[in-house]
Amino acid sequence: MDESVQNEYFELLKFKSVGADPACFRDCVDCASWLKRWLGKLGFEGELLYPDAPAQDASAPRMPPPILFAERKGDEGTPTILVYGHYDVQPADPIDEWKTPPFEPTVIDGRVYCRGAQDDKGQFFAFLCGVRDFLAKDGAKPTIKVVLEGQEESGSEALESMALSLRRKLAADVLLVCDTSAASGMRPAIIAGLRGVSHFTVRLKGPNRDLHSGEYGGLAPNAAQAIAELVATLHHRDGSIAVAGFKDGVEPPDHDELRAAEVSTPSKEELESDIGCEPVGGQIGKTLVQRVSFEPTIEVNGIHSGYGGPGAKTVIPCEALAKISMRLVPGQTPRSAFEAVRRHLEDNVPRGMKLSVEDYTPGAAGFRLPLASPLFRLAENVLSEMDGRGPVFVWDGASIPVVSAIREASGAAPLIVGWGQAEDRIHSPNESYSFVQFDKARDWALRIVSAIVG
CA distance 100 to 93: 13
Check residue 351 and give its pLDDT. 97
Asked if 60 and 202 sit in the same domain, the reply is: no
Check residue 54 and give its pLDDT. 45
> Domain for residue 282, yes or no?
no
Asked if 167 and 144 sit in the same domain, the reply is: yes
Asked if 90 and 129 sit in the same domain, the reply is: yes
CA dihedral 441, 444, 450, 451 (to 10 degrees): -150
CA distance 389 to 128: 25
Tell me the C-alpha to C-alpha distance, in Å, between residue 42 and each of 68, 71, 159, 324, 439.
Answer: 15, 10, 24, 43, 20
Asked if 11 and 141 sit in the same domain, the reply is: yes
Asked if 189 and 202 sit in the same domain, the reply is: no
Check residue 397 and give its pLDDT. 67
> Domain for residue 287, yes or no?
no
> Domain for residue 176, yes or no?
yes
Check residue 398 and give its pLDDT. 66
Taking the alpha carbons of 2, 444, 265, 174 in that order, is the dihedral positive or negative?
positive
Check residue 63 and give its pLDDT. 87
> Domain for residue 16, yes or no?
yes
CA distance 141 to 77: 10
Segments in the chain below pLDDT 50:
54-61
Asked if 359 and 429 sit in the same domain, the reply is: no
DSSP string over 159-201: HHHHTGGGHHHH--SEEEE--SBPPGGG--EEEEEE-EEEEEE
Give the domain CATH number at 183.
3.40.630.10
Nearest Cα residue to 418 out of 442, 402, 435: 442
Last residue of a domain, one of 309, 340, 364: 364
Domain interval for residue 330: 197-247+292-364
CA distance 146 to 131: 11
Contact 151, 158 (CB under 8 A): yes
Q: Quickly list H helices, 286-333.
A: 288-289
Asked if 208 and 64 sit in the same domain, the reply is: no
Asked if 107 and 186 sit in the same domain, the reply is: yes
Last residue of a domain, one of 313, 336, 364: 364
Cα-based angle 405, 344, 222 (whole degrees, multiple of 5):
120
Is the pTM of the predicted complex or chain greater than 0.95?
no
> Domain for residue 256, yes or no?
no
> Domain for residue 269, yes or no?
no
> Domain for residue 275, yes or no?
no
- Number of compact structural domains in the chain: 2
Give the domain CATH number at 328.
3.30.70.360
Check residue 43 and give its pLDDT. 98
Asked if 319 and 407 sit in the same domain, the reply is: no
> Domain for residue 286, yes or no?
no
Nearest Cα residue to 203 out of 345, 361, 351, 20: 345
Last residue of a domain, one of 344, 364, 384: 364
Check residue 389 and give its pLDDT. 96
The number of C-alpha atoms within 13 Å of 354 and in the hemisphere containing its C-beta is: 6
Check residue 396 and give its pLDDT. 81
Asked if 104 and 137 sit in the same domain, the reply is: yes
Asked if 391 and 344 sit in the same domain, the reply is: no
What are residue 85's DSSP bridge partners? 148
Asked if 209 and 78 sit in the same domain, the reply is: no
CA distance 134 to 332: 40
